[in-house]
Amino acid sequence: MQHWVSPFLLVVAALSASSAAAHEASPPREGRFDNGPGPVSQWFRIAGEPSATPIIFLHGGPGQGSQTFQASVGPAIEQFATVVYYDQRGSGRSQRPSDPDLYSIPILLLDIDVLRNHLGADRVILLGHSFGSILALEYAATHPDRVAGLILTGAVPDMPATMKALCDRLRREDPPAHARTVAAAGGEGCQPFAAYDDARRKEWIEEAMFPDPATARQVEEWDNAQGLGNTGEMGNALFGKGLLEYRFNRPDRLTMPVLFIDGALDHQTTEDPQRQLAAQVANGAFLSYPRAGHFPFVDEPARFARDVRLFMEQIGAGDE
């Protein structure tokens, strides 16, 4: 595992970045591509400065869409990189089929590869958030020659460990709720999302993800702007196909640099599996933001953008 450069040095790096050959950013452009099964029409937007390797943002949810990333840290990253905002099938501005057979991890990985080909990019940087970290990990392990680097934030490389952490939290904070989860699991393990009814469950999840309730309200506003909120088709299909049992088990295939950015106040995901995977890969690094939750790029957007810029500089994927 590589040691990561101190965030303090980011300021120095930013100030000393070469100013030779200034680039004029191309106007943002939107596009669509179709991919089977279905086929399903999927939306993307390209914006930012020309960079040697584009960043494709893979959002969470499943089914959240790229709205919050675009509205928060996206414009700052566009100052030094080409950013591709991509709404996965069933999300955002992309088509949302109701047929569960049109959703699976292999299908979503093929969608990413079709997008990469559509962009004409030999290699890309994948920036995966939450569920998007699973897609980024699996795509990179399947096609390591097509990925220049991985940035994973709020990552879930081990869903059973994440579920156990949620159960442990319930046991500490609300024993009666924990008892309900154990009963829902038939006395073996626990089902953490069975602890509360719908309204209280939403509050509990937000308390786990957001140190500041105002941030939760802002993310909800961004997510639901223009009627683009998560309607659940994608998530229902994937959870029904065993997503909660997912574990990433191919660290040897991650030959590219991998950066984890974790929010220390994120109680929705688990820090230990991220640290362990960063230590297992050939060129891994782990950063923890002490004041951030599940959305570090919303809680600390300036720092997040600086860390992304430094990562790109270190792997030689910056300006063209």
Interval 88-147: pLDDT, tens: 999 999 999 999 999 999 999 999 999 999 999 999 999 999 999 999 999 999 999 999
Rounded percentage of the chain residues whose pLDDT exceeds 90: 87
Asked if 99 and 187 sit in the same domain, the reply is: no
In angstroms, the Cα distances linking 173 to 114, 216, 309 are 45, 21, 39
Burial (CB < 10 A; 0-12, 13-18, 19+), residue 267, is buried
What pLDDT is recorded for position 206? 94
Q: Tell me the two tokens of residue 60.
A: 């969470």
Confidence of residue 319 (pLDDT cuts 50, 70, 90): low
In angstroms, the Cα distances linking 272 to 114, 193, 278 are 33, 21, 10
Asked if 136 and 178 sit in the same domain, the reply is: no
Asked if 66 and 88 sit in the same domain, the reply is: yes
Is the pLDDT higher at 319 or at 177?
Answer: 177
Asked if 137 and 78 sit in the same domain, the reply is: yes
Among candidate residues 133, 18, 29, 155, the one with its CA nearest the CA of residue 83: 29
Segment of 9-18, 146-155, 180-189 carrying the highest mean pLDDT: 146-155
Asked if 308 and 277 sit in the same domain, the reply is: yes
**Contacts with 37 (C-beta within 8 Å, 6 or more apart), sequence order:** 101, 102, 107
Asked if 74 and 194 sit in the same domain, the reply is: no
Asked if 57 and 141 sit in the same domain, the reply is: yes
Read off the pLDDT of each residue in 3-12 and give the average, rounded to a whole number: 32
CATH of the domain at 242: 3.40.50.1820
Our count of domains for the chain comes to 2
Is the pLDDT higher at 9 or at 88?
Answer: 88
Pairing of strands 29-35, 40-48: antiparallel
Residue-wise pLDDT tens digits, 179-210? 999 999 998 889 999 999 988 999 999 999 99
pLDDT over 50 at 212, yes or no: yes
Among candidate residues 25, 81, 38, the one with its CA nearest the CA of residue 57: 81
In the listed set 176, 209, 242, which residue is the last one of a domain according to the structure?
Answer: 209
What's the rounded Cα separation, in Å, for the pair 65 and 198? Answer: 22
